[in-house]
Amino acid sequence: MDSPPPRRRALFGYEPPPSASDGGPLSVTELAQRARRFLEGEFASVAVKGEITDVSRSQRGHIYFTLKDANSQIPAVLWEGAARSLDFQLQNGLEVVARGNLTLYAPRGRFQFICQKITPAGEGLLEAKFRALTAEYEAKGWFDESLKKPLPFLPRVIGIVTSPTGAAIHDILETLLRRHPRASVLLAPAKVQGVGASEDIARAIRLLDGRDDVEVLIVGRGGGSLEDLWAFNEPAVVEAIRRARTPVISAVGHEVDVTLADRVADVRALTPTRAGEVVVPELEALIDGVRILRDRLDREVTGLLRNASLTLDALGRSWALREPRRMVQRASERVKELRAALTRSLEGTHRRLEERLRRLDRIPSGRLLLARLVRARQEVAGLRREMDGAMRRNLEGARADLERLGPLLESLSPLAVLQRGYSITRTKDDGRILRSSNEAAPGDEIVTLLADGEIVSRVEES
Amino acid sequence: MAKKVDLSFEEKLKKLEDIVESLENGELALEKAVDRYQKGVRLHAELQADLDRMEKRVRMLTEEGREVEFEGAADEDDDQ
């Protein structure tokens, strides 16, 4: 009996070729198997160049996408193992060279390119756009060093534009507050990737830039693919940074990613952490610095005053000061004498009048006497007023005298004396004041103190 | 000359440094030195006050333009 050969199941992908000589129709599976073997044999290792589109990632980590050019497309897959070692982001529009083999996925009758290795080829759409924008802003001079604004030394308020939930804000704040635990920060939250992100970032920049208290801005996000960072290349963001009056620190991603925002910013921080470092000085160093300046200030002035008081002591012993002091002393003695004499004379008049009144009192009384008495009393009162006035005038005169003498004393103060051309000479060694030519020998160094400074000289002869 | 209130912390610090250096050069007449010293003491007090006045504030702008405390930063290593 000539029965058809038993159908053998494909084991481990192996199945002996069906014999066409059988002449019978092939099953669908048989045809698919033959096509698959053909494809796998013919295209066992091939490199293909095309644009990536329709990227999707399975739960297991395989990446499915379509390779296409102007007229054709081929479905492709990158198995999980190869996908893991990929060192760039597969994204729509990216031009790549893929190496691998063709196969046929029998359940769907679809042929598929299995990628073993994939590398970017030339530039994709985003790269081209990036290059065009870079050229445009370079031509406008927007990246020029001359436009860079200096950062404030100690900003009152630090404005930050980033996502409130991203890694960047955490990194920035951690570093910033460690360096300056009393800093003031204002976060303007913005969407940092996806549709509308660039407008959102630009709006947040303008918002913070419009505030008087915000003295520096940090604009950024954590690292990512070119596509993730794309908002920071968009004209809306680049222009908002360029037009800001407030200095801007960019802090986008990691060191390798340079965005146009980085290039237009006044300062580029390589990472958000680095932005937290450059934006504030260390508070502790600041406190120390201020204290040290105060110490130096005090030390200098203490030294100066000690020198000055030595000079004053020396001057105090000289005639220039003894003389005016004596003048004042004499003046005040004279004032005292005058006052005593005046008092004596007025008191004498008063006493004589009182005496006359008492005598009148002893004479037998009458209306006439009484009238006289009243008149006499008035006379006494008038005299007393006069006396008081004279006394006051005299004291005022004395005070004016003293006031005149005050400035005189001052004009004879040591500094004023020096101003008039006198000088004091001391030995350089021990600061002794020279009063006699015998006190210095040829070759000695001497210091001459003048009103505005010192001259150091050497004695030729004495 | 700008009013004192308009000087930034940095400008005040710079002024104080200049004063200390001019004193350390020792070329000033006594009166001028004392005058500088007093200015220096005043600047020091202002700098000190500026530092003392500082106060940690981490705020976030809401969509309505209000300012609210921002807590997002204080996670695992919340050591304040």
- A365: pLDDT strictly greater than 60: no
Question: Is there a contact between B55 and A184 if contact means CB atoms under 8 Å apart?
Answer: yes
Q: Where are the alpha helices (DSSP H) in chain B?
A: 9-24, 30-53
Strand ordering across the sheet containing A445-450 = A424-427, A445-450, A453-458
Of the residues A290, A298, A415, the best mutation for testing chain B's interface (the one with the most B CB atoms within 10 Å of its CB) is A290
Neighboring chain B residues of A161 at a CB cutoff of 8 Å = none
Task: Check if the beta carbon of residue A69 is closer than 8 Å to that of residue A51.
Answer: yes
CATH class for domain A126-281?
Answer: alpha beta
Q: Which residues pair with A427 in a beta bridge?
A: A446
Strand ordering across the sheet containing A184-189 = A267-268, A248-252, A214-221, A157-162, A184-189, B57-61, B67-69
| Amino acid identity at A341 | A
- B48: pLDDT strictly greater than 50: yes
pLDDT of residue A135: 93
Across the range A219-238, mean pLDDT stands at 89
Q: Do domains A20-122 and A126-281 have the same CATH topology?
A: no
Where are chain A's structural domains? 20-122, 126-281, 319-416, 424-458
Q: Which residue has the higher pLDDT, B47 or A418?
A: B47
- A441: pLDDT strictly greater than 80: yes
Neighbour-count burial of A229, counting CB atoms closer than 10 A to its CB (0-12 exposed, 13-18 middle, 19+ buried): buried
Question: Is there a contact between A174 and B77 if contact means CB atoms under 8 Å apart?
Answer: yes
Nearby residues of A456 by Cβ (< 8 Å), 6 or more positions away: A428, A445, A446, A447, A448
Question: Is there a contact between A304 and B29 if contact means CB atoms under 8 Å apart?
Answer: no
CATH class for domain A20-122?
Answer: mainly beta
Q: Express as a percent the part of chain A with pLDDT over 90.
A: 36
Neighboring chain B residues of A184 at a CB cutoff of 8 Å = 54-58
> In what helix (H) or strand (E) does residue A117 lie, and over which residues does it extend?
strand A110-120
Could you give the CA distance from residue A320 to residue A342 in angstroms, rounded to a whole number? 34
Interface check A346 vs B, CB under 8 A: no
Give the relative orientation of helices A283-316 and B9-24 as an angle to the nearest 10 degrees: 40
Range of lowest pLDDT (A96-100, A310-314, B30-34, B38-42): A310-314
User: Of the candidates B54, B56, B72, which has its C-beta nearest A165's C-beta?
Assistant: B72
Interface check B71 vs A, CB under 8 A: no
Interface check B41 vs A, CB under 8 A: yes
Across the range A14-32, mean pLDDT stands at 71
Q: Could you read off the pLDDT of A110-134 as tens digits, one per residue?
A: 889 999 988 887 666 677 888 899 9
3-state secondary structure of A65: strand
